[in-house]
Structure 1
C-alpha cells in the first residue's frame, strides 16, 4: 500500500442529508456518473500520509495522557498520543487490563426539532455537553472532559459542530470523558441546546446564544452498571432543581415542560472503556456481592453460590479483560468461606476459566498471571486455610464419580 495519497475530488454534501442512511446511499451512487455529476465540487485536495512508528519511540503518552517509557520532559518536538483502540468483543482480541483506564465516549447523533412548538427560533442548533454529579441549582459541571488539541487538558464543556439553518441536525462529534473512580446515582450527562443567531444586527449581539432545551442521561442504570449504547431522550424546555427525578413525561412533582409532548427527540450513543466498571451482568453481580460481603457479615452464602454459577455464562472477552481481578477475587473467596458448596463452586469457575483460556489459545495470560500477579496471603495461625489445600479439597469433591461430568472433562 502507498504511504502517501492525494484526494483531489472533494464534494460538498447537503447539510440536511448527513445521516448514516444518507451516507450509505451516497456511497452506493458513487459509481453512477449521472448521480456524481449533480454533486457540487470543492476546489482543493486532501493529502494523507501514513508512516511507521518505531516500537521504542520516545515522548509517547497513553490515551489517558500518562507518559510512557523514555519520555523526555525537555525534548523539543511533539508528544505522540496513543489512540484508544476499540477491539472486537471476542476473547481472541482481548487482553487483560494492566493499567487503570476509565473513559466514557459520548456521541451526540440526532435532534428532531421540526415538530416542537416551545421555541419559535431553533434552527442553528448547538449542543453543549457537561458531566455533573448533582442536579441542584447552580451545580457546576466537573472538569473531566478531554479538551481539544491546542486547548486545555481538561475542560467543563464540549460543543458539537453547528449546522446552519437545520431543525433536525445530525452530529458527528466524539466527546471523551475521564470518569470518576466511584460513580453514584447523581452522576449524569447534561445536554444543553442553543439557537445560535447569525443576525448581524448590532442590537442583538448580546443574544448570540438562546437556550432552546435540555436533555440528561443518568450514567448508572438499576443495579449499578454504566449505561452504554444508543439512547433516545426527551427534551425539556426548562430545567428545575432535582430534574433527575423526572421520568420522561411523568411530572414526579416537578414542573417540567417537555418539548413536543415529551417525545424522545434527542439520540445519543455512549461507549465505555473501563478497567473499573464491567458491562457483563454476571460479573457485575459477582463483584457487587463480594463487595457487600466485605462490608457486611450478613451477606447470603446462597446468593454467592448463585452468582458463582452465573459466572459460567460470562462473556469470553470480559473474562480475559478482568482475568487478574477475577482470579484474585475467586482465590480470596476460596480461603475465606466456611461452606464447602462455595469452595466447590469457586473451583468449578476457576476450572472453567482455565479451560476457556486454553480453548482460545490464551494460556500465556494464565502463565503471566501466575508469574507476575498471583500472590497468596501469608500463612498465619489465625487463618489456617491455604489456596492449595482448599483447591485440593474441592477438586476431590468435584472428581468423585457422578458428581460433575462437565467440570471433570474440562
Structure 2
C-alpha cells in the first residue's frame, strides 16, 4: 500500500518487527554492557513510547475527592489535622518588658506597646517533616533510611554470571546439556529446554473456590512481607542543583546587633592624686565623620576622692557604678577610634592652668613638692565643696581599634558563636549589612580577636577653642599619620588600663540602654555592664521589635559675645518640662557616673572665661510615653562664679530658650539655632517657639540665633518621617473617631479625612527607606486593615482598597530591594518571611467603626454613586476605582458580607472553615492577639506560656490563605477548587505581591 493511501492511524504504528525486538532483548541480556550500549545506540529501537508526566495538581483539581474510591482517597484529601495554630511566647531579652506604665496612652503608643508585647501566633504543620520542601532528601538521609534493606536483584538487571550460580547447576530445570547437544536453531533450543525441565508440583487448591475477600486478604499479607519502610527510599537522592524549592522556618524578629566588643576600664592613675577625675568613652568613625555610639561614663576614683563630692551627691545607683561597656559595630572599619575624654571638677582658672600640676609634678618628687601638693589638695577640696556639681574639660586620648585587633591576632572569624551574635535573620547573620561595605572594610573585623589589655599613657590637654566634634575628627585623622598638629598638643601623664575583648554571647549582669536587666541577671547587687546604644554609620534596615523611646540632646555652641557684663563662665542647664511651672521638670535625664539613675536637670561642662563656648556634651533622656503639646525642653544659661564673693550668688541666670517637642503631632528633631531671651519666658510660652518675637521680651543680639543645639531620637514609637507620621496620625484618627482634628494648619472633619488619607497612602512611596523598614510591621498591619476592614465614616464604607494595596506593594518592594544582600538562595527576604510567619495578623471580624461609635446601618458607597456622601468631598479629583457594588438590593452588615454572597453563589461548602468556626476572631473561643482600638481588651491579659500552646486547629487546609502560608507538600492547593474565605481575599493578594517581589 502506498504511503499516501494509508490510514491516519497507521502512521503512528511502530513498524518494528517482533523478531528484531526479541533479538535486541536477547543481546542485552546475554552480552556485555558495552556491547548492549553499542547495539542500542546503533539500532535505536524504541521499545516504549515516551509518556508525558501528569500534572498532579491539575488532576486533583479536576477530580473531586469524593469521586476517588478506596485507599487512594487518602492520597487525594488533605489531612484534617495537618495545620494548627500555636501561641508562641515572644522572646524578651530583659527580665522586664520595659513598656510604659498603664495610663492614658494615645493610639500610636498603645498600638506600639501591643505590637512589641504580644506573643506570636504561628501556623504549625504536623506533617512538615514528611515534605521534601522542608526536609530535603540528600544522599546522607537516603543512606540512613536504606539501612536494613535487603538488596533486590531482578532477573533483567542481573548479568549472566549472576543468574547461573552454583546453586542453579544442580537444578534439573536450569540444567541443559553441553552446547554441542543443543540444537542451534532458536525453535529447537526452546523445545529441547522444555523437554528437559522437571515436572512442576501439582496445585490442588488452584481450582478450589475462594471468596474474593480471602484472596484480597492473602494478597495483602503477601505484599506486607519484606516491605521497605518507605517506598521513596528506593529512589536515588535528587540533585541539589535541581531542587524545585527549599523552605525553612524563618527566625523570629529580634533586635539588631552588630559585632560587639567588651571594654573594661580597670584603673586610672596620675602622677599626683588630688581630686576626682571622671571618664567618658565613645566610638567615632573618622571616614564617615560620625559618632557611632552613645557615651559611656565611668568613675575609677578611690573612695577618698569620691568623698570630696559627698555634699553634692545622693546615694549612687548601682547602674551608675558600671566600669564595663559593650559596644556594637554594624559596619566595622579601620577608621574607628575609641575616644576617651576626662573631666574634672570646675575650679578657678583655665584648662592650661588646671592641667599644669599634672604635667609638671612627678610621683618621685612627692617629698620635694609636699607643700605644693598640700595646697593643691586643699584648693581641690574647697572647689569640690562649692562647685562639685559642675565639670570642666580636662584631657582626651584615642585608641585605634584596628591596631588593637591586628596586634592581638585574629582567630577564627567564622565561629558559630559569632554567628549567633549577629542580627536576628538567618541569612542576615551570614550576609548582614556589614557585608555591604566597601572592599576596604572587608579586612577589618571586631568579632574574633584575642583579648588585649592596654595601658594608655599619652593624654592630650583639652583646648578651649577646639572642643567640637569637627576639631576632634581632625585630630583623629592625624593620629594615623603623626603630624605637627599633634606634636603641638601638650601631653598629660596618666595611666589608664583597659581591657578590650569580643563580647560574650550571654554576658551576666548586663544592662540595656534603657537600664533594664538583660537575661541572665543572677544578682541585682552585682556591678553591671552597660550595653551602649549604637548610632550606625550608615543605614541599617531592621524592624523594631521592642519598645524604645530615647531622646539625645547635643548642645553645640553658644555665642554671648555681644552680651554686656561679666558673663563668662557659662553653662547650660537642660530640663524636660511637662508644663511651665518649675516643679513640673520630669526626672527623665539619665545619670552619668556615681550619681542617681535619673535626674531632673543636667549641666554642660564650663569653659572658664569664655563668652562663646563650644560643647561636646551628650544628654540622654527617656521620653514619656505620651508627649503632649505642653512638653518642651527648657534651656537655662547660667554664669557660674568660681571665686566666692560676698553678696554674689553661685550661679546667675543670664538667658532662656526652649524647644516645644511636638509640632502638629510630630516629634521635633534635628538641628536648631535658637534665639536666647534675657528675660524669663512669659506664661503660655511652651506652645510657641522662641522664633516668635513675644512682646515685652528682651533678646540677646537682637533676636538672632545664638544657641546651636541638635536633637536626635531613637524611638520605636515616633517614625520621624513626615509621610509615615501623617499616615499613622490619620489612621489613628479614623480608629478613634476624634473629629474634628487639626492636622498642621487644616482642620479635618469626617468629610475631608478620606481625601487626606488617600493622599497619605500615595505619599508612602516618598518615605525614607530606613524608617519605613523599621516600622514595616506597623505599616503593613495598618494597610491590611484598611483593605480587609475599610473604615466607616458617617455610616458609609470608605473604599481605600486600591490605594492601600498599591502602597502595600510599594512597601514590600522597597523592603525587598533594601535587603537585597540578605536574601536567601531563593531570593526571598528574611524580614518579610519573618513578618508573614510570626507578626502578620488578620483584623477582627467586626466592622471598623470609629472609636466606640454606636452601630449604624452600613451602606456600600462609591465615589461615583453614594447616597449620604458628604458634600465636601471633591468627587472630580478622586480617580480611585471602587470594588463595591452600589446596585446591591440589600445593604451588607459588614464589608465581607458582599464577598460572602458572591462566593456563596459558587456552591462552596464552608461548614468546616476556620473563619466560620468558634476560633475565628470574634468567636467564642477566639484568642485575642491585638485588641481593636474600639475594644477595651488588654493584650497583656494573654498568659505568658513557657512553650507554644495550641490556639485553634483549623480543620481544613484549603481555607487558609495559600499566598501567605506556603504548602507543606500538596497542601498549598485549595482542594476541590474552594477559595479562601472572605476575610482572606485581600490577604491573598498581598501574598501574591510578596511572591512577585521574591519576598
TM-score (norm 2): 0.37
**Aligned counterpart, 2:712:** 271
The alignment status of 1:218 with 2:652, answered yes or no, reads no
Residue 98 in structure 1 maps to residue 545 in structure 2: yes
- Work out whether 1:389 is the aligned partner of 2:855: no
Does the 8 A contact of 2:678 with 2:699 survive in 1? yes
Q: Distance in 2 between matches of 1:98 and 1:11?
A: 42
Question: Is contact 1:16-1:166 (8 Å) kept?
Answer: no
1:243 matched residue in structure 2: 685
Map 1:222-237 → 2, pairs under 5 A: 223-237=664-678
* TM superposition shift of 1:191: 0.8
Instruction: Pick from 322, 346, 367 the counterpart of residue 804 of structure 2.
Output: 346
Q: State the Cα deviation string for residues 232-264 of structure 1 (Å, max 9, x = none).
A: 1111111132333565465434x2211221111
TM-superposition CA deviations, 1:74-123 (whole Å, max 9, x none)? 5x532222111222553xx2211111111000011111111122xx1211
Question: Number of matched residues?
Answer: 391
Answer yes or no: is the 8 Å Cα contact 1:127–1:192 preserved in 2: yes
Q: Within the alignment, does 1:157 sit opposite 2:157 as a pair?
A: no
2:742 paired with 1:300: no
Distance 1:32 1:156 in 2: 43
2:838: which partner in 1? 372
Change in CA separation of 1:246 and 1:392 when aligned onto 2, cut-off 3 Å:
closer
- Which structure 1 segments of 5+ residues have no match? 399-406
| Higher mean displacement: 332-341 or 155-164 | 332-341
Residue by residue over 1:136-192, the C-alpha shift from the partner in whole angstroms, topping out at 9 and shown as x without a partner, is: x44521111111232222110011111111111111111111111221221111111
| Residue 52, structure 1, aligned to residue 493, structure 2 | no
- SS of 2:708's partner is strand
CA distance in 2, matches of 1:209, 1:194: 6
Indicate the residue corresponding to 2:22 in structure 1: none
Specify whether residues 28 and 154 from structure 1 end up closer, same or farther in structure 2 by C-alpha distance, changes over 3 A only.
closer
CA offsets 1:220-243 (integer angstroms, 9 cap, x no match): 23x322221211111111113233
Flag the 1:343–1:20 CA change in 2: closer, same or farther, 3 A.
same
2:643 corresponds in structure 1 to: 199
Question: Which digits, 9 at most, give the CA deviation of each residue in 1:187-225, with x for residues without a partner?
Answer: 111111111112144x24x6111111111111123x322
Q: Which whole-Å CA distance do the structure 2 matches of 1:210 and 1:25 have between them?
A: 35
- Contact kept, 8 Å, 1:285 with 1:307, in 2: the verdict is yes
Match of 1:113 among 556, 560, 575: 560
Match of 1:131 among 572, 576, 585: 576
The whole-number CA distance in structure 2 between the counterparts of 1:325 and 1:155 is 33
Aligned equivalents of 1:249, 1:374: Cα separation in 2? 45
Contact 1:334 1:346 in 2 (8 A): yes
Contact 2:789 2:895 in 1 (8 A): no
Contact 1:111 1:265 in 2 (8 A): yes
- Please state if 1:84 is matched with 2:533: yes
Q: Normalising by structure 1, what TM-score? A: 0.86
1:27 Cα deviation from its structure 2 partner: 5.3
For the residues of structure 1 that align with 2:997 and 2:554, how far apart are their CA atoms?
47
**Aligned equivalents of 2:613, 2:807: Cα separation in 1:** 49
CA–CA distance in 1 between the matches of 2:629 and 2:454? 49
Alignment CA distance shift 1:95-1:199 (3 Å): same
**What is the CA-CA distance between 1:379 and the residue it aligns to?**
4.5
Q: 1:259 to 1:81 in 2, by over 3 A?
A: same
CA distance in 2, matches of 1:366, 1:197: 59
In 2, the alpha carbon distance for the partners of 1:58 and 1:197 equals 45
Secondary structure at 1:354 match in 2: helix
Query: SS where residue 207 of structure 1 aligns?
Result: coil
Per-residue deviation, 1:28: 6.3
- 6-15 vs 262-271, greater mean Cα deviation: 6-15
2:467·2:616 contact (CA, 8 Å) conserved in 1?
Answer: no
Taking the aligned partners of 1:393 and 1:9, their CA distance within structure 2 comes to: 64
Aligned equivalent of 1:256: 697
Which of 813, 816, 824 is the aligned partner of 1:358?
Answer: 816
Moved more, 21-30 or 233-242: 21-30
Deviates more, 1:37-46 or 1:63-72: 37-46
Q: Which has the larger radius of gyration?
A: 2
Quote the Cα distance in structure 2 between the aligned partners of 1:390 and 1:224: 31
C-alpha distance 7-352 of structure 1, shift in aligned 2 (>3 A): same
Q: Which shifted more, 101-110 or 380-389?
A: 380-389
1:9 aligns with 2:454: no
Aligned counterparts of 1:395 and 1:34: Cα–Cα separation in 2: 62
Aligned-partner SS, 1:346:
helix
2:754–2:798 contact (8 Å) kept in structure 1: no
Deviations, residues 5-41 of structure 1 (Å, cap 9, x unaligned):
3332322232133234444555566656654444322
Instruction: Verify the 8 A CA contact 1:89 1:317 in the aligned structure 2.
Output: no
Q: Name the SS of the counterpart of 2:557 in structure 1.
A: strand
2:729 is matched with 288
Match of residue 778, structure 2, among 301, 325, 339: 325
CA-atom RMSD in angstroms: 2.9
Distance 1:168 1:37 in 2: 26
Distance 1:387 1:64, change over 3 A: farther
Partner of 1:403: none
Partner of 1:18: 467
Distance in 1, Cα, partners of 2:606 & 2:584: 24
Q: State how far apart, in whole Å, the 2-side matches of 1:377 and 1:25 are.
A: 55
CA gap of 1:313–1:341, structure 2 versus 1, over 3 A, is farther
